[in-house]
Amino acid sequence: MAHYSFTDEWRVAASPEDVYALLSCPREYPDWWGEAFLHGEGDPGPAAPGKRARLLTRGRLPYRLRWELVCVEAVAPSRLVSQIHGDFEGVGTWTIAPTAGGTRAVLEWDVDVRKPLVRHLTAVLRPVFAWNHRWAMRRGQERIVELLAGASRPGSDAELVEARP
């Protein structure tokens, strides 16, 4: 299998509660994340152990990924842990913490890719697939910053931080 571990950091000029409210409802990611999340279905409402969301996602490259998140831990407003199944197998963990001026949200994405195209080409195209991941995360970061701008204090700005493979 093709193993990938990413750590993505977002800084958002909004409260941890507001950031958690969006991140804890993965079925709704297509409503705000933008072009990277094409479709979501599953259990409604905020994350709770056992709740599921099935997602169809894409990056800039011409393929789509189908996967399911199963919540295994939800501690509002600070932590979300999900098992990932489908074209990915692994664990995704959001850690959400207050910072001066807002919130720091960190995603640790530790998965094996099962989609044959990506799995077979990883040896040659790993940097391209990592770029594709960063593109998708950047879309989410930009959108959450825009969406929660009204929840921030006047005059504060969100910081866009690049993902680290």
Structure confidence at residue 154 (pLDDT):
41
Q: Quickly state the pLDDT bin for 155 (edges 50, 70, 90).
A: very low
Give the pLDDT mean for 112-121.
94
Q: How far is CA 72 from CA 7, 16, 22, 40, 79, in A?
A: 19, 20, 17, 19, 11
Structure tokens that stand for 63 in this block? 């393929």
126 class by beta-carbon count within 10 Å (0-12 exposed, 13-18 middle, 19+ buried): middle
Mean predicted lDDT score pLDDT of the chain: 91
Cβ(146)–Cβ(138) under 8 Å?
no
Structure confidence at residue 150 (pLDDT):
67
pLDDT greater than 60 at residue 46: yes
Q: Quickly state the pLDDT bin for 16 (edges 50, 70, 90).
A: very high
The one-letter amino acid code at 142 reads E
Spell out the domain ranges in the chain: 2-151
Structure confidence at residue 165 (pLDDT):
53
Give the pLDDT mean for 44-62.
96
Give the pLDDT mean for 27-41.
96
Give the pLDDT mean for 95-116.
97
pLDDT greater than 60 at residue 4: yes
Q: Which residue has the tokens 């990924």?
A: 65
| Residue of higher predicted confidence among 123 and 154 | 123
Question: CA–CA separation, 17 vs 97, rounded Å?
Answer: 9
The one-letter amino acid code at 160 reads L
Domain 2-151 CATH assignment equals 3.40.220.10: no
Question: CA–CA separation, 10 vs 140, rounded Å?
Answer: 9
Query: What is the maximal distance between C-alpha atoms in the chain?
Result: 49
Q: Which residue has the tokens 């800084």?
A: 11
Total residue length of the chain? 165
Q: Quickly state the pLDDT bin for 151 (edges 50, 70, 90).
A: low
Structure confidence at residue 149 (pLDDT):
87
